[in-house]
Each structure stands twice: as C-alpha cells, then as structure tokens.
Amino acid sequence: MNQGQTVFAQVMDHLPLPEFHKCVTKYQGDYRIKNFSCLDQFLSLAFAQLTYRESLRDIESCLRSQNTKLYHMGIRGKISRSTLADANEIRDWKIYADFAQVLIKIARPLYKNEDLGLELETTIYALDSSTIDLCLALFPWAKFRKTKAAVKMHTLLDLHGAIPTFISITDGKVHDVNILDYLVLEAGSIYVMDRGYLDFLRLYQITLSLAFFVTRSKSNTSFQRIESRSIDKTTGLICDQTIILKNYYASKDYPKELRRIKYYDKITEKTLTFLTNNFLLPALTIAQLYKCRWQVELFFKWIKQHLRIKKFYGTSENAVKTQIWIAVSIYVLIAVLKKRLELKDSLYTILQILSVNIFEKKPIQIVFAGDPEIMSKNETYNQLNLFDC
C-alpha cells in the first residue's frame, strides 16, 4: 500500500466512487458547480463524522490546518464554512440516501454468516424508530408537539451484522406503524417488532406476502383460544396457543389464525406475550427472536453516541437529512472496512483509532495492528509508484 496516502484517504478508497457519481448524476448534484463538488461535500462531512467535529467552523478550521493534505484526501474544492453550508442547504439529500443504499448492498453479503445464536438460515429483521429531539425555533419544519420539534429515524435492521437495510427520516408526528406501508417485504423473512406496530390489517399484508412477523400483544387484545400445545415450563414458557381474534374489526383485518406465546423473562422479571404467524418454529425460539430485537435499540444508541446526528450543521430539512444519511454511510463503511481488513476490534474502537490517526501517512493495517513485524513487511524505502499516488 502506498504510504503517501493518509489514513483518511485509505478509508475512502473503500467507497465505490463510480456508484457515487451515478447518484450525483441522477439528481444533477454537480450541475453548474465549479469549485465544491458533491464528493467534496461528502468527504468533508465524512471527516466531520470520523473526528467528531462540533460545527461548520470546526470543520473549516481543522481541514484548513491540514491544507497541504486535502488534495491527497480527495478533497479538491476550497474548504469554506459558507460554501459547505450552502451545499448542505442546496444539494439534494437523496444523493446521499441512494449512496448509503449502495454501501448497504456491499455490506450485507459480508455479514450474512454472522451468528445470532439461533439455528435459523432465514433473514431476520428488526423494525423500530428513534426520535431525535430538535429546537422548535430553529427547526420549525419538524414540528412534533406544541413546544417541541423532532425527527424520527425509522430503521429496518438486518440482525446478521446489524446492518440497516431501510431507513426513513420523517417528522416526529409520523406514527411508527405507518412505515409498514413502505417496506418491500421479502417472502420467508422474519420481521420482529414491538407492540407499537400492532396493526392487524398491516400484519395481514405480511402474511399475504409469505413473510413472518413476531410482535408483542397488547393487554386489551380480545381473542378466542383454538388449541394449546405442550410446553416446557422450566424454560420460562407459560403457554403456546393457536387463537383467532374476537374483535369485529380486528377479525376482519386479520381473518386467519394467530399463534400466541406467553413467556416469563427471569432476567427482567416480566411476563411477555407474543403474537406471530409462524407455527413452525419452537415457542422458545420465538421468544429468543424477540430478544434479538434489542439489536436495533443498540444500533440507535451507538450512532447517537458515536456519530454526529444529535447536533446538526444546518437547520433546514435538507441539511438535517444530508447529515443523517452521510452518518449512516460512514457507519456502513466502517462495517465494510472491518470485514475487508479482518479487524477484530469493535466498530467503536475502530472509530476511536481512526479519529486520532486520520492525517497519518502509514498503511492502515499498521494503524490497527501496531506490530513491528507487520511494519517491516509493509514498509518500503523505494521511490513511490507514480500510479499509486
């Protein structure tokens, strides 16, 4: 590897730039742009995410202090706070949303064999949302309550590797259950959701799509028991039943039988009731599947703590969505990097190491290995190859 490259440039080498330029062309992102392209904008905000920059002034100061290295980082345009602010306001956020989907398609095959602790070969998704609070005076377009603004990040997470496959960013007033209308359902896959998504008409659409769901039942769900199956109560299972819905409207929305499983969690000391359309899996596996849903909660917690999506560099809807989608792109890019370089460190550790070595000019394997033997194998004192620069 060329030691003339900064660590930042080596990370960005894993981006599929031809696909990025296709996204830019699709939305005419660089139309009549001469000095600060969409790629410059993406790289600048990627730098901000990797190094935890607080503001546009912070980004400008840090990058200008390394002015001689910007060209080799891939940034061709002049870094200016006003230029970056204008780009965030004007460049269509869909460019970065589409590019994030490109990265997701690259990442998912790398994690398809990740072990969930369940002997299931099917794809398992967890669906949930997270609210990002905003100031109503600065973000009036994101009105949530009378004196509060917020955006919601609705996410469908592939539990093999915790890779987001679908993300929708809406204002805070959009109810979670509405997002079920926008999912492209995969036959044979399992969708795990909390009881906020308990809408029997929409759940029936999952059944008609030959997919499966696991969700929590509400306490007022009226049903009639058709059959009970034997269970091992030492595992925490209380009952495993086949039911039909008794409420007139609910039975019209979901006219087929459902499976009702009641389970006592010894750790939380809570009794949980699940509804599913899967009659083949063991009852305990259904309970374990719901427990795996917490990965999506951990995903939200992780990106809120370690990426910049709680404080924004702009106040318009376009600027907010641009920043969130680039943050998602960086999350997925680091996940790809972890697999391609066979890194044993966690994503958090990888981010921490990158943040303090971002301007270093040494092979990225050495940054993570720190092994003198690896150093001696990778170092070369010959003249650099022109075509590697």
The strand ranges marked E within the chain are: 124-134, 143-145, 148-158, 163-171, 190-193, 212-216, 223-228, 237-245, 258-265, 270-276
The C-alpha atoms of residue 174 and residue 168 are separated, in whole angstroms, by: 11
pLDDT in tens, 11-68: 999 999 999 999 999 999 998 888 899 999 999 999 999 999 999 999 999 999 988 8
Where exactly are the structural domains of the chain?
Answer: 7-96+324-388, 197-282
Q: Note the pLDDT tens digit of each residue in 219-233.
A: 899 999 999 999 999
| Higher per-residue pLDDT: 72 or 183 | 183
Q: At what angle do helices 317-340 and 81-90 cross, to 10 degrees?
A: 100
pLDDT on residue 318 = 95
**Average pLDDT, integer, range 264-281:** 93
- Distance, in Å, from the CA atom of 325 to the CA atom of 228, rounded to the nearest integer, reads 47
How far, in whole angstroms, is CA 72 from its chain's centroid? 29
Confidence at residue 108, expressed as pLDDT on a 0 to 100 scale? 92
What percentage of the chain exceeds 90 in pLDDT?
66
SS3 per-residue string spanning 46-64: HHHHHHCCCCHHHHHHHHH
Strand partners, 261: 240, 274
pLDDT tens digits along 174-199: 999 999 999 999 999 999 999 999 99
- Confidence grade of residue 74 (pLDDT, cut at 50, 70, 90): confident
Average pLDDT, the chain: 89
Can you give the pLDDT at residue 373? Answer: 43
Supply the pTM of this predicted model.
0.86
Percent of the chain beyond pLDDT 70?
A: 94
- pLDDT above 70 for 312: yes
Q: How is residue 145 written in tokens?
A: 């309550």
- Give 164's strand partners: 157
How many other CB atoms are there within 10 angstroms of residue 94's CB atom? 16
pLDDT value of residue 214:
96
Q: What are 323-377's pLDDT values in tens digits? A: 999 999 999 999 999 999 998 888 888 998 999 999 988 888 888 886 444 334 4
Let me know: does 216 contact 198? Beta carbons within 8 Å: yes
Full DSSP string of 213-259 = EEEEPPTT--EEEEEE----GGGTEEEEEEEEE-SHHHHHH--S-EE
pLDDT, mean of residues 57-82: 89
